[in-house]
Structure 1
Amino acid sequence: MALTPDIYTSPELAELEAEAIEQQVEAPKRTWRLDFENGRISEQITDFEALQQYVRKALVTARSRFLIYTDDYGCELRDLIGDDVTRGYLDSEVPRMVREALVYHEYINDVTDITYEIDGDKLRISFSIDTIYGEARSEVLL
């Protein structure tokens, strides 16, 4: 004897499950706003604003250096700053590293038009991102 009543036959249950899956709506991604300049966390943000913050944070976080993140999160761009490398090397590596850091996010479809400028020990990267929310231009300073 079962502990729960068998009120649905298998086909009925399968149909109810299929309906529930169709009706599922993905909850908006929420995260806390990070104030990078003042080192503060404030109110919650969602959707495109949260995705823009993810983009910045993924590019400024060194890959494989913090145990809290998987090895897939972050990038190695900081390793290029100050290194004695050729412009040709940077022309190939900077776009590759930016794409690698971002395209794994499920809401990012593509990263294009990647340009960069080096000013002493600073690296300014500009790029376009195509997301589920639309396209946008972003800039990150390392």
Structure 2
Amino acid sequence: MREIQIVDAGELATAYAQADYAVRLDGDTFRLKVGKPAGDVEAYWPASRYAFITAWNPASRPQSDAINQSADSSLVAQLKAIGAPHQPAWAEDTTGDWRELGWLVSGLDPHMLDALAHEFGQAGVLHWEYGHPVHLKMYLQRPPGIPPVPHIDWVE
């Protein structure tokens, strides 16, 4: 497991929550947003639960494309090994200056999602159950003075 050291967890959570997420299913692109339902994805690719995870840029520290692609290959191998259906997805900031490739995974056990996030050094992932809004799960403690925000779950 990689240790995550973030200078400002509150700013990072805000950036993740405001980011744009998307998945490509059979050539069509579907958008995801923290706090919003993902009805189009759910209608097109029904499952009991969903998650977005990436292996890129552990601890939100930029890595080379070669390192990110190697980590991504390891993540995909693990998703295949556990039989987790997954589709190409990505996250990007609202300005388009930052983009990370990842995977939308269906039916993944929450404990397995946590294990994969920790193994690949991720500070946060998206997750939700069918019919519910998309949540951001931060694998950091909520900083003092930051009030709880709907749809952002902190590891406390």
* TM-score when normalising by structure 1: 0.30
Which structure has more RCO (C-alpha within 8 Å, separation ≥ 6)?
2
Larger radius of gyration: 1
TM score, norm. by length of structure 2 = 0.29
